[in-house]
Amino acid sequence: MIRFAAFCGYILMITTCAWGSAFSIQEIGTRATGMGGAFVAVASDGSALFYNPAGIAFQDGFRMQMDTLLVHGNFKFTPSVTPNGTVVPEGGYQGFISPQILVVPNMYMTMRLNPKWTVGFGSFAPFGLGGNWTNFEDSEPSNTKFVARFHTTRPKMESIWMQPTVAYRVNDRLAIAFGGALVHTHVLLEQSILNPLEEGRFFGEQLAPRIFPDADPVVAGRIIARLLPEGRSRFAATSNNIGGAFGILYRHPQWKTRFGATYRTAVTQHFRGKASFAFTTEYALKPLAGPAVFANLFPEQPATATFPTPGTYAVGAATEAFGRNLFALDVQMQDYRRLRYVVLNFSQHGPDTATPAEARIDYSFHNAWAVRVGWERPVKNMTVRAGGAFDGTPVPEGAVSPLWPDSSRINFNGGVSKEVGGKEISIFYQFTKFLPRTTNVAANANVFTNGKWNSTAQLVGISFRFRKGGQSLEFD
C-alpha cells in the first residue's frame, strides 16, 4: 500500500496559540500582573512561588491566595497568496482563544514554621492556552474554508505546575528557596491532512498507475490529489514530568530596596496518547479507491511525542526609596533555543499504513528576552498599581503560522487592591498589542501561512487572599 512519507506536517500541532513569547504565560498573580509582571524582587504574595520563591520567607503567618485569569485573544491573518478561487474574509481570517474567554485558575498557600523556615505550595499554569482558527465543517464550500487548515486548525495545551517549596531566611536581609514540581501537561490537537499540494500529490502519484495506468504519473497525480477526500487528524495525549524552581532575595533596609533572582527549569514533555483520523465520506475517487482505503491507511493508534518547554532566568530590583511609591524592574530570558525540533512517533507503520515510524520538523527558535516595569502606591484605603512590558518573540519568520501567530508584544497593565482585616481582593486589566508581522518564506508556500499577522489580547484577573497571624499583607 501507499506510504505517507509527507506526514511530517502533522507534528506542527504540538503546542498552542498562546498570547506572547510563543506559548509562555507570564500573567500569573493579580497583584504582579497589575505591576506589569515586575515581581521578582517584590515577591510579596503567594505568586512569589512562581516569580521568586524566596519571597515567601518574608511572609509570616499562614496565607492562602486564589487567582482567576480571564483571557480573550484575537489573532488576524491575511494570506499573501491563496489557492485559486479562495474567498478570504474581509479583514482576513480570525483565530480566537478557544473558548473565546478562557479561564485560568491558580492557587497558592504559604506557612511560616519558625523564624527561619517557611513552606509553600502553588498550583499554576506557566505554559499553554488554546486556539481555534476555523469552525471547519466538511459541508462548507472549499473556497470558504480556512486557507492554512493543512497547517493547523485547532490546537490546545495545558501545562500545570504543582510545586511544593521550602524557603530559608538566612537573616533579616537574605533568603533562598527551592521548589520541586510535578508538571502535568495535556494536549488536544487537530489539523486537516491530504493537502493537494503536498501529501495529496504524493498519494496521487502512487495511485496513478491503478487509476490512469497509461498516463504520466506526475501529471495524473496532480489531478488525483484534488479528487481525494479531505481528512482530519487529532492527537490527544498527556505527559507527567518533574521540574524545579530556585530563588534568592536580598533586602537592603537603608536603601529601602530589594534585589531578586530566580530560575525555573526546562522540562522535556514526553507525551503518550492516541492519534486518530477521519475523512469525508463522499469524494470523487471513492468508486475507484474503495470506501475503506483511507481508513485502513490511517488507523487509530497509540502515538508519542517529545516536546521541550524552556527554562526561565530572571533578575529584578524593587525600591520604596521615593516616598510611598514602590517601583520595580525585571529582566527575563527564556531559553527557547532548546526548541529546535519536535518528534512524533507512531506505533503502527509499515507498507500497509500511511503513518511513518517517526516524523520530525525543525523550528530553530531563538531565546526570548523581556523587560518589565511596575509601580505601586497606597491611596487612601486602597493600593493602586500600573506597569508595562516588552516581550520579544522567540519565533523565527519561518515558524510563524496559525500554530505560532507570534510576534514581539507590548503590554499595558493596571490594577487595584483592597485589604480589610487580613483579607484582600485584587483586580487587574492588561491590554496586549502584538507588533504587526509580515512573513514570506518559500518553504511555507504550499500551506499558505505567508502573509500579514496582526493580533491583540485582553486579560482580566481577580484574586482573593487572606492571612492568619502575622503582619499586613502589603510590601514592607
Query: What residue spans define the domains of the chain?
Result: 7-194+229-468
How remote is the C-alpha of 43 from its chain's centroid?
Answer: 24
Grid cell for residue 446:
504550499
pLDDT band at 422 (very low <50, low <70, confident <90, very high): confident
Q: What torsion, rounded to 10 degrees, do the Cα atoms 170, 171, 174, 175 define? A: 40
Question: First CA to last CA across the chain, in angstroms?
Answer: 71
Nearest residue to 262 via CA among 242, 275, 245, 276: 245
pLDDT band for position 207 (50/70/90)? Answer: confident
Spatial CA neighbour of 220 closest among 211, 228, 233, 229: 211
* pLDDT the model gives residue 349: 83
Instruction: Express each pLDDT in 151-203 by its tens digit.
Output: 888 778 889 999 999 999 999 999 999 999 999 999 888 888 888 888 888 87
Please, what CATH class does the domain formed by 7-194+229-468 belong to? mainly beta
pTM: 0.88
Q: What is the pLDDT of residues 437-463, one digit of tens each?
A: 999 999 999 999 999 999 888 999 999
